[in-house]
Amino acid sequence: EAQVTQNPRYLITVTGKKLTVTCSQNMNHEYMSWYRQDPGLGLRQIYYSMNVEVTDKGDVPEGYKVSRKEKRNFPLILESPSPNQTSLYFCASSLSPPPTVGEAFFGQGTRLTVV
Amino acid sequence: QQQVKQSPQSLIVQKGGISIINCAYENTAFDYFPWYQQFPGKGPALLIAIRPDVSEKKEGRFTISFNKSAKQFSLHIMDSQPGDSATYFCAASGTASKLTFGTGTRLQVTL
């Protein structure tokens, strides 16, 4: 089954404690991205990756890091989480980057709370 | 800066009615306009998409209407059903290799 898998689904952490949210896709997609979803703001892109070892900033990259060492994995790293990073996070992948027509597949989401 | 403005924020429609969600964009370089549907606890999923070379695209009960000169596009859900109750996001993409999403519309279809 084609899917994007995020872990964990839920996470409560304390300010300043480094954390990693993993994302893996089994569709051999080149393009992967991370979004955060906040009420009234929709989905905002954090980082994206066009392929292995190729990453770039999205609209809200501050406080986040990513890496793309393998095609299937695209972890999101919060080195020193702060309460304003409390949000619902989604990883997505697609065969090629927009605007090429093609569906972006989203993971189930990770609800992060930073206290 | 919100490059894709979506309205309304929420919408209540009776079963069998027509649901209409509107989006407006600013960037004339956008040339791909998808709509995503999100159910509670799930990630968004592609519903329907359009390119600006056509003014309308229909897939079942879902239709995108596109007005290039006005820089607006809308989603129409005909014969709305309770199972359509979800949050809908419009999006747009151009040369920047990313999707820019609207703020979302929470649709509730009542019996």
Q: Taking CA atoms, what residue in B is nearest to A37?
A: B103
How close A15 comes to chain B (CA, Å)?
Answer: 25
Task: List, run by run, the mean pLDDT of 10-residue segments along chain A (115 residues).
Answer: 93 97 95 94 93 93 97 97 97 79 84 97
Task: Say if residue A97 is preceded by a cis peptide, omega within 30 of 0.
Answer: no
pLDDT at B93: 87
Burial class (CB in 10 A: 0-12, 13-18, 19+), A4: buried
Is residue A63 within 8 A of residue A78, CB to CB? The reply is: yes
Residues recorded for chain A: 115
Domains observed in chain B: 4-110 (2.60.40.10)
| Residue B2 banded pLDDT, cuts 50, 70, 90 | low
- Which residue is listed with tokens 């079963």? B15
How close B69 comes to chain A (CA, Å)?
Answer: 20
In sequence order, the 6+-apart residues with CB closer than 8 A to the CB of B86 are B37, B38, B39, B40, B106, B107
A and B: number of Cβ contacts within 8 A? 62
Of residues B79 and A1, more confidence is placed in B79
pLDDT at A101: 52
